[in-house]
């Protein structure tokens, strides 16, 4: 029988951590029952492991008691890191990070859920690898772990036995993905039906809310960001924008990228698309009306940028999120 360790990261837990742990335990238990019902032998043992014998109430609502302590686990086949609040490592969390590193060197695969990617990245294992995390943590993650290739649009990454996923309750999609990896496709389909989790979701782009990196201290870039955000309907060139702030185009680009993580063009596109998304979600405006309001006159260009940002066409997005549009009003 193989061994799966679900970590309980003391000191970094919130209610999402609890949800990840409980959801994973329940789905893997149901997968195991289904597997045995098909005439197979029991395949995996799942345990919840922590670094020390602590029970802390989370949100004054619930506490979790681990099955074992990581010091008792000599060898495991898969480590699952749940969502966890990013922060400076404590003595306990550092012990967990060191244990993850040792287990990975011994051949264990690893999966992180949501902001659990911060714990995984702290091991150094993710350097040079692809990774995902909750879109709202993308800027903080890039700043903290610049050697990791973050793909915050992806729901799941799978690279050489290391799995990561996007944010919040999309951990359920990762669990189904792991069930297919560790059992088979039919078991994954069964679990997806029982728990009503969509199979094969691969993007979190449609859920992202763009707010822009503002905590960078570059006054010129801040003014440029403000100008872009206050003139969404304007179609302007980056040359005209840089000259507005008396900065050469090359230097303007360099400072903007360093401060925000986006090129000026990308930033303007994200701001415009965020405004378009809100209009499509909450108004009866047509796609063309919204397009003109955010400074586009070319339907094809607007659709291409919108799909690049959200993973959906403008009409698909409107039908998905606008209740009145779905009802045919």
| Last residue in a domain, options 207, 242, 259 | 207
85 vs 17, 18, 96, 202, 323, CA distance in Å?
Answer: 9, 12, 15, 24, 34
Q: Which tens digits make up the pLDDT trace of 238-267?
A: 899 999 999 999 999 999 998 888 899 999
* Number of domains, the chain: 2
Q: What is the pTM of this model?
A: 0.71
- The pLDDT of residue 39: 94
**Separation CA 13–CA 23 (nearest Å):** 15
The confidence band for 287, taking pLDDT boundaries of 50, 70 and 90, is very high
Shared-domain flag, residues 97 and 231: no
Please answer whether residues 256 and 213 qualify as being in contact, where contact means their C-beta atoms are separated by less than 8 angstroms: no
Which residues lie closer than 8 Å to 190 by C-beta, 6 or more apart?
31, 34
Give the pLDDT of residue 44.
94
Average pLDDT along the chain: 89
Higher pLDDT, 56 or 2: 2
Domain that residue 312 falls in = 219-327
Nearest residue to 6 via CA among 64, 58, 86: 64
Give tens-digit pLDDT for 46-78.
Answer: 999 998 766 666 777 777 888 999 999 999 999
The confidence score (pLDDT) of residue 89 equals 64
Residues 140 and 184 in one domain: yes
Residue 213 lies in a domain: no
**156, 185, 207: which is the final residue of a domain?**
207
Q: What number is the average pLDDT over the span 270-274?
A: 92
Residue 329 pLDDT class (50, 70, 90 cuts) = very low
Q: For residue 326, what pLDDT is reported? A: 63
Could you tell me the CATH number of the domain that includes residue 253?
1.10.10.60
The pair phi, psi for residue 38, each rounded to 5°, is -85, 10
Tell me, yes or no, whether 11 and 159 share the same domain.
yes
């Amino acid at each position: 029988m193989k061994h799966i360790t679900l970590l309980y990261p003391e000191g970094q837990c919130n209610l999402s951590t609890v949800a990840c742990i409980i959801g994973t335990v329940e789905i893997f238990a149901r997968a195991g029952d289904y597997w045995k019902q098909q005439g197979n032998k029991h395949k995996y043992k799942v345990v919840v492991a922590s670094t020390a014998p602590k029970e802390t109430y989370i949100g004054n609502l619930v506490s979790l008691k681990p099955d074992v302590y990581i010091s008792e686990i000599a060898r495991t086949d898969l480590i699952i890191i749940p969502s966890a609040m990013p922060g400076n490592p404590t003595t306990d969390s550092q012990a967990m990070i060191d244990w993850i590193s040792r287990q990975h060197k011994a051949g264990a695969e690893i999966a992180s859920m949501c902001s659990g990617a911060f714990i995984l990245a702290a091991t150094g294992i993710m350097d040079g690898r692809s990774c995902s995390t909750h879109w709202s943590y993308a800027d903080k993650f890039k700043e903290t772990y610049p050697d990791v290739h973050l793909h915050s649009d992806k729901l799941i990454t799978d690279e050489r036995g290391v799995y990561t996923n996007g944010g919040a309750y999309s951990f359920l999609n990762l669990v189904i993905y792991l069930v297919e990896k560790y059992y088979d496709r039919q078991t994954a389909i069964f679990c997806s039906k029982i728990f009503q989790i969509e199979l094969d979701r691969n993007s979190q782009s449609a859920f992202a809310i763009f707010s822009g990196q503002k905590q960078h201290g570059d006054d010129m870039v801040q003014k440029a960001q403000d100008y872009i955000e206050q003139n969404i309907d304007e179609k302007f060139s980056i040359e005209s924008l840089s000259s507005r702030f008396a900065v050469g185009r090359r230097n303007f680009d360099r400072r903007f990228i360093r401060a925000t993580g986006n090129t000026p063009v990308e930033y303007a596109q994200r701001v415009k698309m965020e405004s378009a998304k809100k209009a499509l979600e909450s108004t009866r405006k047509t796609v063309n009306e919204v397009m003109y309001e955010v400074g586009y006159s070319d339907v094809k260009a607007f659709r291409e940028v919108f799909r690049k940002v959200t993973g959906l066409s403008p009409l698909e997005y409107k039908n998905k999120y606008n209740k009145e549009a779905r009802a045919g009003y």
